[in-house]
C-alpha cells in the first residue's frame, strides 16, 4: 500500500477549515512526514497517523511549514521515545532546524539528526529512492519525489507446473532472474515463466513554488502529483510576486509532466472550504484533479 494523508492543506495561516502544511506518506508500514506546520501533531492524532515515524522532509523554512516540529518532538519525548529521528531540508537546515528543536528548556530524549539536502540528491532506500529537486519560491526551497524501484515481473505458477518444476526454492530463483538446470538436464530461463519487470509508483510533492521545469521533470509520468495552488487566476500577479502557483498553473504542470492524478493543496484562506472556483479552473486544464482538504486520504495503487 501507498497512502497519503493530508494533515494540513492551507497556506500561511491556520483557519477553521484548514491547518497549515503537513503531509504524511505511509508505505509498507513506514511513515514519512513532509513539512510540519504548527498543529501538525494534533492533526496526526485526529487522522490516525502514528508517531512512530523516523523522518521528516522539509521543503523550506517558512513558518507555516516548520513550526510544528518543536511540539511534535516534545510529545515524542514524553512518550519515552528512544529511537532516533532524522530531519531533512534544504540549505540552512542545521541553523533553522536546530533552533526549532532546541526551543524551550526540555532536552530531546532521543537523538535527532539533521541532514541538509541539495537539488539532485537521491536518497537510496531498499525499494525506493527519495529524489530531491529544485523549486522556485524566493527562498532556498526543494521538492521531493518518492520513486519506487522497478518490481520483478509476474511469476506464472501454472507455467512452472507445466514445465515440471516443483514448487520450492527453484521458483524463487527463477523469479529473481536466475536460469536454472533441472535434474533431467533441461535448462529453464526466467523468461519462460516470468513476465516483464513492472514499474513502481512515483509520488511527487511540490512544496511552495512557482511552476518550474525541474518539478515537471521530476514529475514526468508520476502516479500522483501533490502541487500547491495558493491562488486562482484572478491573483496570478500576486502568485508571481510571492512565488506561488495558481490552480490553473499547477494543472498545466500536471499536464506537461503527464502525471496520472493531481491533488491541489496549500490553498489561500481567502477561498471557501471546497474552493470550487480553483477546482473548475484546474479541471479545465487537467481533469484528473482534486482539491485536498484536511484529513483527505489518497491511495496510490499500482498502475497494473
Ligand atoms: Zn507555505
Ligand atoms: Zn513558503
Percentage of the chain exceeding pLDDT 70: 100
Supply the pLDDT for residue 287.
98
Report the DSSP beta bridge partners of residue 132.
144
Supply the pLDDT for residue 43.
98
* Contact predicate 65/37, CB 8 Å: yes
What distance in angstroms lies between residue 33's CA and the mean position of ligand 1's atoms?
A: 15
Give which of 151, 153, 282, 281 is closest to 225, Cα–Cα.
282
Cell of 267: 490553498
Q: Which ligand is nearest to the CA of 65?
A: 1
How does pLDDT run across 191-226, given as a tens digit for each residue? 989 999 999 999 999 999 999 999 999 999 999 999
What distance in angstroms lies between residue 239's CA and the mean position of ligand 2's atoms?
A: 12
Out of 64, 140, 223, 294, the active site residue is 64
What distance in angstroms lies between residue 62's CA and the mean position of ligand 2's atoms?
A: 5
CA distances from 32 to 18, 53, 197, 254, 286 (A): 21, 6, 27, 23, 28
Give which of 295, 241, 301 is closest to 265, Cα–Cα.
295
Supply the pLDDT for residue 303.
84
Instruction: Answer yes or no: is pLDDT of 107 > 90.
Output: no
- Range scoring the smallest mean pLDDT among 28-32, 37-41, 277-281: 28-32
CA distances from 291 to 2, 97, 114, 189, 279 (A): 19, 30, 32, 48, 6
CA distances from 136 to 119, 204, 226 (A): 12, 15, 16
Instruction: Answer yes or no: is pLDDT of 304 > 80.
Output: no
Q: Which ligand is nearest to the CA of 12?
A: 1
CA distances from 118 to 35, 90, 93, 262 (A): 16, 6, 11, 25
Instruction: Answer yes or no: is pLDDT of 111 > 90.
Output: yes
How does pLDDT run across 135-173, given as a tens digit for each residue? 999 889 999 999 999 999 999 999 999 999 989 999 999
Report the DSSP beta bridge partners of residue 106.
none
Alpha-carbon Rg for the chain in angstroms = 22
Q: Is position 64 annotated as part of the catalytic site? A: yes
CB-CB neighbours of 192 under 10 Å: 15
Instruction: Answer yes or no: is pLDDT of 74 > 90.
Output: yes
Percentage of the chain exceeding pLDDT 90: 92
Tell me which residue has cell 494533515. Answer: 7
Cell of 7: 494533515
Q: What does pLDDT average to over the chain? A: 95
52: confidence class by pLDDT, cuts 50, 70, 90: confident
Supply the pLDDT for residue 109.
85
Sheet of 142-148: strand order equals: 122-124, 128-134, 142-148, 202-205, 224-228, 261-265, 289-291
Q: Which ligand is nearest to the CA of 11?
A: 1
Supply the pLDDT for residue 166.
85
Tell me which residue has cell 471557501. Answer: 272
What distance in angstroms lies between residue 57's CA and the mean position of ligand 1's atoms?
A: 14
Instruction: Answer yes or no: is pLDDT of 54 > 90.
Output: no
Instruction: Answer yes or no: is pLDDT of 49 > 80.
Output: yes
- Please state the pTM of the whole predicted model: 0.93
What distance in angstroms lies between residue 165's CA and the mean position of ligand 2's atoms?
A: 59
Give which of 140, 117, 121 is closest to 129, Cα–Cα.
121
Report the DSSP beta bridge partners of residue 51.
none
How many whole angstroms separate alpha carbon 185 and alpha carbon 193? 18
- The pLDDT of 276-294, averaged and rounded, is 98
Amino acid at each position: 500500500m501507498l497512502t497519503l494523508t493530508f494533515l494540513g492543506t492551507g497556506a500561511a495561516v491556520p483557519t477553521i477549515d484548514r491547518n497549515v502544511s503537513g503531509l504524511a506518506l505511509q508505505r509498507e508500514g513506514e511513515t514519512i512526514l513532509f513539512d510540519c506546520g504548527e498543529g501538525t501533531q494534533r492533526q496526526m492524532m485526529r487522522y490516525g497517523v502514528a508517531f512512530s515515524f523516523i523522518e521528516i522532509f522539509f521543503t523550506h523554512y517558512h513558518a507555516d511549514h516548520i513550526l510544528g516540529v518543536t511540539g511534535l518532538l516534545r510529545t515524542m519525548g514524553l512518550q519515552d521515545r528512544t529511537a532516533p529521528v532524522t530531519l531533512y531540508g534544504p540549505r540552512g537546515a542545521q541553523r533553522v532546524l536546530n533552533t526549532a528543536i532546541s526551543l524551550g528548556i526540555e532536552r530531546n530524549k532521543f537523538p535527532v539528526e539533521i541532514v541538509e539536502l541539495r537539488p539532485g540528491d537521491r536518497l537510496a532506500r531498499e525499494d525506493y529512492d527519495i529524489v530531491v529537486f529544485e523549486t522556485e519560491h524566493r527562498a532556498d526551497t526543494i521538492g521531493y519525489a518518492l520513486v519506487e524501484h522497478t518490481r520483478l515481473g509476474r511469476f506464472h505458477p501454472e507455467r512452472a507446473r507445466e514445465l515440471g518444476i516443483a514448487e520450492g526454492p527453484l521458483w524463487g530463483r527463477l523469479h529473481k532472474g536466475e536460469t536454472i538446470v533441472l535434474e533431467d538436464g533441461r535448462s529453464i530461463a526466467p523468461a519462460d515463466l516470468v513476465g516483464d519487470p513492472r514499474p513502481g509508483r512515483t509520488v511527487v510533492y511540490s512544496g511552495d513554488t512557482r511552476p518550474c521545469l525541474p518539478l515537471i521533470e521530476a514529475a514526468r509520468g508520476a502516479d500522483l502529483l501533490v502541487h500547491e495552488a495558493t491562488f486562482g487566476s484572478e491573483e496570478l500577479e500576486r502568485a508571481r510576486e510571492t512565488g506561488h502557483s495558481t490552480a490553473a498553473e499547477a494543472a498545466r504542470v500536471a499536464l506537461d509532466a503527464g502525471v496520472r492524478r493531481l491533488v491541489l493543496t496549500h490553498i489561500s484562506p481567502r477561498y471557501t472550504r471546497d474552493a470550487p472556483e480553483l477546482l473548475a479552473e484546474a479541471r479545465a486544464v487537467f481533469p484528473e484533479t482534486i482539491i485536498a482538504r484536511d484529513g483527505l486520504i489518497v491511495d496510490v495503487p499500482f498502475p497494473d
